[in-house]
Structure formats: C-alpha cells, structure tokens
Amino acid sequence: MSLARFFLFRGLRIARLFRASWPLAAGLALTLALATAAAAADAPTKVRIGYQRSSTLITVLKTNGTLEKALEPLGVEVTWHEFTSGLPLLEAMNVGAIDFSADVADTVPVFAQAAGAKLVYVAEEAPSPSAQAILVPANSPITTVEQLKGKKVGVTKGAGSHYLLLVALAKAGLSIRDVTPAYLTPADARAAFVSGNLDAWVAWDPFLASTQNQSGARVLADGTGLASYKRYYLTTEDFSKRGGKVLDVLFERLKATGEWVKANPGPAAEILAGLWGIDAPTVEKANARRSYKVGAVTPAGLAEQQKIADVFFAEGVLPKKVDASDAAIWKPATP
C-alpha cells in the first residue's frame, strides 16, 4: 500500500470514529455545562459570620472592611452576628443560622461533636499556652498548684480554662474533687476574685491581662506543658461544599490579619481597646501571649482535641465519648 493510500485510509477511519463518538462527546459537554451552571447557581452570595466580642482577628477584619473588599469580586455579601460565647455560636451554626464561626477555644468543637453537630474545621491558630492561666491574689500564700487543695477555685465550665485546671490538678496529684470549684462566667468570676471570694481563678486573655494589671494578681501556672490552647475557625458541612472560594478568601484574610496584628502590636491594640473597653497597654499585653498564627488544620494537629475529649468524658463533663478524628477538615487552596 502506498503512503498516500495509507494516510487516506487512516483519515477516513478517524473521521468515522469522530462521527460515531460525536453524540457521546456532545452529551458529556452538555452534562459538564449543566453541572457548571448548577454549581454557579449554588455558589453563595452571602456569608454570615458569627463572632464573639473577644474574636480578635475577625473583629479587626470587621472594623477595617478588608474582608468585604476581598469578597466583592465574588459578588458575596458579609453579615456579622455577635454571640456571648463559643457554644451558642456553634449551636447557631449547627442549625444553619450562620455559615462561619470566628475563633473558638479548643474545647468548644469537642462539645459540638458530642452534640452531633456536623461542623467542619477550616483553620486554626497555633498554640498560645500562656494566654490562659491560674491566678491567685497578689498577697496569697499559695505558691504551688498542690496548695490549691481545699481551696475555692473559679472556672468557666467547659472552657479551655476548665481543661487547664483539670490537667494542672492531675499533674499535681490532685483532682477536681480536691478543690471547691465555682463554675462562673468570666465576668462573675472576675468580680468574685477581686472581691476576695475566690482563692484562685482560671482565666484567659484579655481577662487575664486585665486582672493582672488592675489587681496585681499572680500567675500560679499557665498552660505551658499542660494545655496548648489552640483556637479554631469552623464552618457548616453545607457551606464547606458550596463556599470553597469564599473560604479561601476568609482563610487568606485571617492569615494576613494575624501577621499584621503581631507585626503592629500598638496599632492593633488601639483598634481593639475601644471595642473591648480595655486600655491599649492591657490589650497589647494580652495579644503578646497569643500566637495569631493562622494555618490549615490537619488530622495530626487535632491530637490534643482527643485528650480534651477524654479528660472531659472521664470527669462527666462531656455526655459521651468523642472521636476527634471523625471531625471533617476543609483544605485551603494554599495552606
């Protein structure tokens, strides 16, 4: 067979194959187009962000308006929703009232898991162990955790400070039954502490720094070597599937804001001081103990979540066992 006839034969065969496969190719193209259109139609046009008054990075973003500007090209509107504490915030997210949660203490997602909430980890702040501590009055004779035996200790039940107290006592050969715990909100605990009605109080920043500056309270022990005190950002299962680009923007803005706060402690403290009702030097002291280093969540990074769950379950604080590895994790486009 001549080369001319060979190429003619091959050309006719390819043409026949193309005609035979055209309906399939057209069908695939149509399916892809419909899927793309459906995804675009399902993409969020709004992100509802829940936060607490003490949510540092989200508060800065809310104040400077950079998140809205970053999401504007995506046609996404931001709405802000304030909560008094982390648990109500995650409860609201679990029922679909908000889409994204500002940072909550490491213990909060564990309780959400125990309640059956389908929440997804989006980002974490690196450990800040010195940002929570056991305080005693300046004139207290107590100098070791062992000496808390028989004393009245204020703590917020289920908070990161509660976990710190449990593990600090355990290290000292004690348990929660060796002290008299007073389960109080931070505001009530602070009032009781400064008025002399508590022998010790387990607090976190900025309450910690504020009480130190105003009353001269001493740190008996902080979380170093005991409790990492990581903070987590979460979203709903639904939003994690629909809001990939929005979550990527949120992740990048949080990361950049954390870097800005650490590089500009004075200006950051000035912004937060007016919003928190705390003087700027106290805010700066509190911020110095927080890492504000935002990064991606990994299964290995959730190891302490399992320890928290196990300790709380053993103490009867958590209603059932929790497997921290069951938690869903969203992955950013750029870690």
Q: Where are the domains of the chain?
A: 43-127+231-329, 130-222
pLDDT of residue 249 exceeding 70, the answer is yes
pLDDT tens per residue, range 262-312 = 999 999 999 999 888 999 999 999 999 999 999 999 999 999 999 999 999
Distance CA(296)–CA(303), nearest Å, equals: 14
pLDDT tens per residue, range 176-226 = 999 999 999 999 999 999 999 999 999 999 999 999 999 999 999 999 999
Q: Which helix (H) or strand (E) holds 194?
A: helix 186-194
Cβ 316 vs Cβ 118: under 8 Å: no
Instruction: Give the CATH number of domain 43-127+231-329; options: 3.30.390.30, 3.40.190.10, 3.40.50.300, 3.40.1110.10.
Output: 3.40.190.10
Q: What is the pLDDT of residue 36?
A: 40
What token pair was written down for 82? 């304030």
Domains 43-127+231-329 and 130-222 share a fold: yes
Query: Is 167 in a helix, a strand, or coil?
Result: helix
Provide the CATH number for the domain formed by 130-222 in this structure. 3.40.190.10
Q: What is the pLDDT of residue 31?
A: 40
Phi, psi of 73 (to 5 degrees): -60, -25
**Confidence class for position 13, pLDDT limits 50, 70, 90:** very low
For residue 181, the tally of other CB atoms under 10 A from its CB is: 16
For residue 208, the tally of other CB atoms under 10 A from its CB is: 28
Of 164, 167, 184, 185, nearest in space to 175 by CA: 167
**Confidence class for position 15, pLDDT limits 50, 70, 90:** very low
Q: What is this structure's pTM?
A: 0.85
Q: List strand residue ranges (DSSP E) for 107-262, in order.
A: 119-125, 132-136, 152-155, 180-183, 200-204, 218-222, 231-236
- Strands 100-105 and 231-236, by their bridges, are antiparallel
Of residues 85 and 199, more confidence is placed in 199
- Enumerate residues 6+ apart whose C-beta is below 8 A from 42: 242
Distance CA(200)–CA(135), nearest Å, equals: 5
Of residues 288 and 16, more confidence is placed in 288
| Residue 51 identity | Y
Phi, psi of 10 (to 5 degrees): -65, -35
